Chains A and B, each alone.
Chain A
Amino acid sequence: MNRLLKFYHELGSPPSFYRITSHWLKPMLILAIIFTLYGLIDGLFFAPEDYQQGDSYRIIFVHVPAAWMSMFIYAIVGISGIMAFVWRMKVAEAVMMASVPIGAIFTTITLLTGMLWGKPMWGTYWDWDARMTSELILLFLYIGVMGIYSAYDEDPRKAARLAALVAIIGLINLPIIRYSVYWWTSIHQGSSVSLMGESGIKDWAMLRPLLVMALATKFYYIHSMLCRAQSHLLKTEQDKNWVKLALTGERKDKTQGGNL
Chain B
Amino acid sequence: MIEIFDMGKYDFYVWGSIGVFFFALLADYISVKAKSNHIKRLIKTKSRKTRNRSNQR
Contacts and interface: CB of A to CB of B under 8 A. Distances in A.
A binds B: yes
Nearest to B54: A253
A153 interface: no
B24 interface: yes
Interface residues of B, number: 30
A112 B39 CA distance: 32
Given A228-B32, A231-B36, A247 B10 contact: no
Interface in B9-48: 10, 13-14, 16-18, 20-21, 24-25, 27-29, 32-33, 35-36, 39-40, 42-44, 46-47
Contacts of B47: 244, 247-248, 250, 252
B4 interface: yes
Interface residues of A, number: 40
Given A44-B14, A101-B28, A224-B32, A116 B20 contact: yes
Given A56-B13, A62-B18, A235 B28 contact: no
Contacts of A119: 13
A113 B17 contact: yes
Of B17, B33, B43, chain A has the most CB atoms within 10 Å of the CB of B17
A105 B36 CA distance: 18
A108 interface: yes
A109 interface: yes
Given A44-B14, A117-B13, A231-B32, 8 more contacts: A56-B7, A59-B14, A105-B25, A227-B32, A231-B39, A244-B47, A247-B40, A253-B54
Interface of B: 4, 7-8, 10, 13-14, 16-18, 20-21, 24-25, 27-29, 32-33, 35-36, 39-40, 42-44, 46-47, 50-51, 54
